[in-house]
Chain A
């Protein structure tokens, strides 16, 4: 087990930088998720930690060793790849034991370690099959088993669930979390799926265009996004953003609707901003909106409804922008019906229209 430290880590392909001087401290035993849209440099970062990609600048430390110039085999890491990367010509048993075999560990130790990993991941009945004879979920478990037999310092996961169907993905998510609780090894996990990030991570690292945008616990990044990008990327449905101008200490939407300035936010008079409100914080009156001291009310026609059972998602149009709202204890709503919505202002966000930066103090 070990902590992992990235200092000003840069990756360039030729003259093209794809990871820009990122800094990250990962504590021993922590579960850190790198999340961001595809192409933002998550895999590249992970592969630099693994040693599969040269580091163009900065240092990567695992434990107390700078590993920049060490080949992957000397870093004591395990990696689970997106496409499983199993050895197709080896049985499940051989796949699981391969790293120990390479490390020339005694036979009985290998047998025991393989049996144990197979037990943890319910692979025991499949040990003599080849990867070609396994389903996607089973292959995924073999890939994980191969990673855990070695008791590495760090586990690296590169989108391990993205090739699975939705149901299996949810199951495996739980298994991975359980695995972490059981083995307690440092995990660095890459995904583009914010739900995976939220559910798995001790800390989330949000990346965009090769930069780290925000690091924080799932609740921190959800409740206090540093900019409009994080605000819309984390959370489902994505946060509604309404263009507005600050006038006389209030927000004025493009159609003239006035909304009081949410508390705890500072904005200059005349500043162009984006008003951010999550669906959970804009609800039709009388439908279980939690009472708060700062409320604003708007009338909005409903253009579309998505009933989900315990709640219904309402799509409406406010000042020319589509807004998603939530209705708890739902009743049937007709399309075109105009409802009065309450907005919980103390849960709302304000971002500079130009830079996207949060205006929270």
Chain B
């Protein structure tokens, strides 16, 4: 009887191929394909209703999409810069500590140990206009006697979301920058001191250039994180009220799963992913430049 004899490498690799196919390739192809259809989750047969680039055109001409896009961009910019500054300050302070530094480093990681969903609930409670901690504190201190609508006013809600986001993830910057601080060779720092630098100048001209690669790594990680922000915002405001805090992925999530317009949601998702890719490329370029200027790698 004839038996098909496959070469051993193919036999050995087949399980890996199968898994990759199932978890990556098929969903990717399927979702990409569906972004060109009028696919509705509630009516599976619609996946065959090809409507060309309609979804993409629709997204690109949709005011809500663009305002979510812009708000996401703003959130990334504001959150990353704040986190960078706070993380840098935190890392510099922790690096100075000689006793109990281990403990401090561990404590610094605490915010990252909580589920973002729970963080969202916690901040939702803190910023609640009636029973929230913040308004109660402000009122008890006599700073205000009105109930500030933290999660209702668009600008205030944005601030609340940024606060929650920064609270959870500043430690990403702090940890990476701290690692950078430990990796800095002491010689150039001492040379700078002898060359006449004040502590600020030493930091500005020697320490900071050494930290830049670490900062860019943190930026790359966090830009992806924030560009796909969903959980905290979904819990705190669900993109509302009246879309005032709508981000790309709260919009996409609602379009896909609440409105069941999965084809359209997928199209928006692919545009959103482009944004993430742009961020990644940008920060990795910056990282490479910073490393090259330090003479690390080429």
Contacts and interface: CB of A to CB of B under 8 A. Distances in A.
B201 interface: yes
Interface string B196-219: 111001000110011000000000
* B185, B188, B196: residue with the most chain A Cβ atoms closer than 10 Å: B196
Contacts of A131: 295
B208 to A, nearest CB: 10
A306 B193 CA distance: 48
B45 interface: no
A130 B190 CA distance: 19
B152 interface: no
Interface in B90-107: none
Interface in B144-202: 185, 187-188, 190-198, 201
B53 interface: no
B193 A98 contact: no
Contacts of A130: 293, 295
B194 A78 contact: yes
B191 A73 contact: no
A102 B193 contact: no
Contacts of A73: 193-198
A50 B194 contact: yes
Contacts of A99: 195-196
A173 B3 CA distance: 79
A71 interface: yes
29 contacts: A50-B194, A72-B190, A73-B193, A73-B198, A77-B194, A78-B194, A78-B195, A79-B191, A81-B187, A81-B191, A83-B187, A85-B187, A86-B191, A88-B295, A89-B294, A98-B192, A98-B195, A99-B195, A99-B196, A102-B195, A102-B196, A102-B205, A103-B196, A130-B295, A131-B295, A133-B295, A146-B191, A146-B195, A150-B195
B196 A88 contact: no
Q: Give me the 8 closest cross-chain CB pairs, A-B, nearest first.
A: A132-B295, A85-B187, A99-B195, A85-B191, A73-B196, A88-B295, A89-B209, A72-B193
Interface residues of B, number: 20
Interface string A83-95: 1111111000000
A268 B281 CA distance: 84
A208 to B, nearest CB: 26
Nearest to A134: B295
A79 B206 contact: no
B295 A72 contact: no
Nearest to B190: A52
Contacts of B210: 89
Contacts of B201: 102
Contacts of A72: 190, 193-194
Contacts of B206: 87
Interface of A: 50-52, 71-73, 77-79, 81, 83-89, 98-99, 102-103, 130-133, 146, 150
A81 B190 contact: yes
B292 to A, nearest CB: 9
Interface of B: 185, 187-188, 190-198, 201, 205-206, 209-210, 293-295
A78 B197 CA distance: 12
A131 B205 CA distance: 16
Contacts of B195: 73, 78, 98-99, 102, 146, 150
B190 A85 contact: yes
Contact of A52 (B188, B194, B197): B194
Given A102-B201, A131-B295, A86 B188 contact: yes
Contact of B188 (A87, A102, A132): A87
Nearest to A76: B196
Question: Which of B185, B187, B193, B194 has the most CB atoms of chain A within a 10 A radius of its CB?
Answer: B194
A52 B202 CA distance: 14
A175 B98 CA distance: 42
B205 A98 contact: yes
A89 B187 contact: no
Contacts of A86: 188, 191
Contacts of A50: 194
B290 to A, nearest CB: 8
A85 B196 contact: no
Contacts of B197: 73, 102
A83 B206 CA distance: 16
Q: Which of A72, A77, A130 has the most CB of B within 10 A?
A: A72
A130 to B, nearest CB: 6
Contacts of A52: 190, 193-194
A50 B192 CA distance: 12
Contacts of B187: 81, 83-85
Given A73-B197, A87-B205, 4 more contacts: A72-B194, A79-B190, A83-B187, A98-B192
A79 B194 contact: yes
Contacts of A85: 185, 187-188, 190-191
Given A98-B205, A102-B201, A89 B295 contact: yes
B291 to A, nearest CB: 10
Contacts of B205: 87, 98, 102
B241 to A, nearest CB: 49
A81 B194 CA distance: 11
B96 to A, nearest CB: 16
Nearest to A81: B187
A270 B187 CA distance: 54
A74 to B, nearest CB: 9
Contacts of B294: 88-89
Given A102-B196, A102-B201, A87 B295 contact: no
Nearest to A149: B195
A131 B294 CA distance: 9
